[in-house]
Amino acid sequence: MILLEEALAVIREKQREGKIHRTPTLRSESLSRIAGGEVYLKLEALQKTGSFKIRGAYFAMYKYIREGYREFVTASSGNHAQGVAYAAQLHGVKATVVMPETTPWLKVKKTQDYGAAVVLHGESYYEAEIEARKLATGGARFLHAYDDYYVISGQATLGVEVVEDLPDVDVVVVPVGGGGLISGVAYAVKKARPSAKVIGVQASGAPAVYLSLKEGRPVVIERVDTIADGIAVKKPGDITMKMIQEYVDDVVLVDENEIVDALYLLLERTRVVAEGAGAVSVAALMTGKVNVRGKKAVAVISGGNIDAPILMRVLMKALARQRRVVKLVGEVPDRPGTLAKASSLLAAHNVNILEVYHERYDPEQRPNYVRLVFVVEVPGTLDMSKLLDELERHAFYFSVEKS
């Protein structure tokens, strides 16, 4: 059963101590304009450890410690690992986290920095989980990332805060992986405001809960593939599926490009750094897959732990999709000064060159010409056709490569 009142008391005590944040719910003018309603962001990306996971991990440990456990074992390659490690630090107990051998070093180090012991095992989360369950013997407790009533009770405190901040909220949009967060949030929201709709969002590359609801039975996905790695789960939990069926109104899917656009909008318009999983709620609002026109809605930004190289690739992908960064590919005469001349023509139109390279050895290439590629940042006022025409007048035959 969900112990909402007890979880709320426990989490609020830690919030008063500054150990867990009471994260803000802020209005987004940009999203409100795009979605046609009043859109607010529940910024759990600003939470301790960078995600909502500390809520469930801390309360679950609080309860299990009172049942006699002093050591915890879990499996994770991401936010749950850091949540468990930090919760164990706060409680003064031991935590061991089993992570796949492919886990990026930075995530391993962050987990260790919070005081947990890290064991690297297997190539996937599921191999790591098998090992973690083997280690959870002799008085140690295995702590599941989402399929645990105590964990769900802790996550439910986020839902309470949403309704406290917006008592007349109409729609709450929540990222969904294994279902722990949305189970808790939906339970809390429906208890306080039964008329509110709770909508889940999954990545189309990891649609386990979506398919399970459609099929009316648990569906296991063989392969997940998404930038939203925090919700890349192959199967929903038994507990969470029952709660989703009871309390959640709908679950929708967003694709990778839609997630990229949402990440970019959050960064550029709201100055919020979100991870892929944390941005799927915004993607659903931007695309209208969750219709909030004329309504008051909250998008839960569940986490902000995105690696810098991934963030860089996301930004470049978003700029390319908006045609703010384009690739110019063409033929130019193969003689000294050609590159300088082409570059000066681009500069005259305030085009910023990000990358340039050329290829002389294409067997299809005319012998007195060279293939030249510019990756450029273009001003919003640029008429690309006029630029291409001017380049052609100088015997530079360029076209814009499709992204």
Higher pLDDT, 402 or 388: 388
Cα dist from 266 to 273, 304, 318, whole Å: 7, 11, 12
> What is the overall mean pLDDT for the chain?
93
Mean pLDDT, range 190-207, rounded to an integer? 97
What fold is seen in the domain 20-51+149-316?
Answer: Rossmann fold (3.40.50)
What are the extents of the domains in the chain?
20-51+149-316, 70-138, 323-400
Which has the minimum average pLDDT: 174-183, 238-247, 317-326? 317-326
Residues of the chain with pLDDT > 70: what percent? 100
| Residue 331: predicted pLDDT | 83
Mean pLDDT, range 346-375, rounded to an integer? 85
Mean pLDDT, range 46-57, rounded to an integer? 97
* Strand partners for 329: 373, 399
- Answer positive or negative: Cα dihedral of 134, 136, 139, 144: negative
Mean pLDDT, range 337-350, rounded to an integer? 89
**Domains 70-138 and 323-400 fall in the same CATH topology:** no
Structure tokens at 375: 């990756």
Q: pLDDT by residue (tens digit) across 1-25? A: 899 999 999 999 999 999 999 999 9
| Residue 1: predicted pLDDT | 84
Quickly state the pLDDT bin for 292 (edges 50, 70, 90): very high
14 in catalytic set: no
Instruction: Report pTM.
Output: 0.89
Domain 323-400 has CATH 3.40.718.10: no
**Rounded to whole angstroms, how far apart are CA atoms 99 and 76?**
5
Across 39-48, 124-133, 320-329, 372-381, which has the greatest mean pLDDT? 39-48
**Rounded to whole angstroms, how far apart are CA atoms 217 and 197?**
23
Quickly state the pLDDT bin for 218 (edges 50, 70, 90): confident
Query: How is domain 70-138 classified at the architecture level of CATH?
Result: 3-Layer(aba) Sandwich (3.40)
Best CA proximity match to 257, nearest among 309, 198, 322: 322
| HSE-up (13 A, CA, CB side) for residue 287 | 19
| Residue 336: predicted pLDDT | 87
Sheet holding 397-401, edge to edge: 352-359, 369-377, 325-333, 397-401
In this structure, the number of other CB atoms found within 10 A of the CB of residue 371 comes to 18
Mean pLDDT, range 381-391, rounded to an integer? 86
CB contact at 8 A, 100 and 122 = yes
Q: pLDDT by residue (tens digit) across 65-114? A: 999 999 999 998 789 999 999 999 999 999 999 988 878 788 889 999 99
What is the residue type of 292? V
| Residue 200: predicted pLDDT | 98
Among residues 53, 110, 295, 317, the one annotated as catalytic is 53
Higher pLDDT, 244 or 127: 244
**Rounded to whole angstroms, how far apart are CA atoms 70 and 136?**
12
The answer for residues whose C-beta is within 8 angstroms of residue 29's C-beta and 6 or more apart is none
364 pLDDT above the threshold of 90: no
In this structure, the number of other CB atoms found within 10 A of the CB of residue 175 comes to 32
53 in catalytic set: yes
| Residue 77: predicted pLDDT | 78
Mean pLDDT, range 22-34, rounded to an integer? 97
| Residue 162: predicted pLDDT | 99
| Residue 403: predicted pLDDT | 59
